[in-house]
Amino acid sequence: MSSKAPALYDYPEDKEFGKASPTKIGMWVFLTTDAMSFSGLLIAYGILRATRPWPDPVQVLGGVELSGLMTFLLICSSVSMVMCIDAAKRMQRNQMLNWLLVTIGGGAVFLGLQVYEYSHLMNDMGMTLATYEHGENLFSSTFFAITGFHGLHVLTGTIYLIYMYVLAHRGRFDNGDYDQLEVAGLFWHFVDLVWILVFTFVYLI
């Protein structure tokens, strides 16, 4: 008679548990350090806003409609990235390529809208990298520093995904080995998550 006590929960075995690739671990380490950089920028922004005269961001930036659309685009691009990896798991090549192309398009449109926003703020609202003619100069410098730093990440991520598309088109992921695609997806999801925080703290609050 067996003396082994029955398990409280009988979960199915996770075949992927403990099998993270070195590249995936490396990406997690990088994202952890990168998150600290964004945290420092947002904390500095919060301290400055709490201790100095600060304009209403909604009025200064001319509303949140454009930034809201940018947020929606990045959220949709995260969903399309999930669909891309799911198609790679099921070895459905055409769907994988199509969803990856949608993700790349979302990043490219986001960058185009950010360029338009910067042009509008500089030409119509009097904001530059160092000055804001209607109030506290630190608002413009912190705004461009935070959103520009994030925009650099979106640009990097979009180029990264284009490279993944080239590999996918050449058949790199057709055999079910999609680890590189998952690593790229981790970076893209991080970029999307950070923008949600930036949108909340800089544009909404």
Q: Please tell me the predicted confidence (pLDDT) of residue 19.
A: 63
Residues facing residue 132 across a β-bridge: 127
Q: Please tell me the predicted confidence (pLDDT) of residue 125.
A: 65
- Which parts of the chain sit beneath pLDDT 50? 1-2, 5, 8-9, 11, 14, 17, 132-135
Q: Please tell me the predicted confidence (pLDDT) of residue 41.
A: 93
Q: Please tell me the predicted confidence (pLDDT) of residue 130.
A: 58
| Topology of domain 24-37+58-204, CATH | Four Helix Bundle (Hemerythrin (Met), subunit A) (1.20.120)
Question: Alpha-carbon distance 184 to 157, whole Å?
Answer: 8
Q: Where along the chain do its domains lie?
A: 24-37+58-204
Question: What does pTM read for this prediction?
Answer: 0.84
Phi, psi of 127 (to 5 degrees): -95, 140
Q: Please tell me the predicted confidence (pLDDT) of residue 22.
A: 81
Q: Please tell me the predicted confidence (pLDDT) of residue 135.
A: 45
Q: Please tell me the predicted confidence (pLDDT) of residue 11.
A: 43
Q: Please tell me the predicted confidence (pLDDT) of residue 133.
A: 45
Q: Please tell me the predicted confidence (pLDDT) of residue 158.
A: 97
CA 203 to chain centre: 17
| Cβ-contact 165, 185 below 8 angstroms | no
Q: Please tell me the predicted confidence (pLDDT) of residue 191.
A: 95
Question: Alpha-carbon distance 127 to 143, whole Å?
Answer: 10
Q: Please tell me the predicted confidence (pLDDT) of residue 146.
A: 93
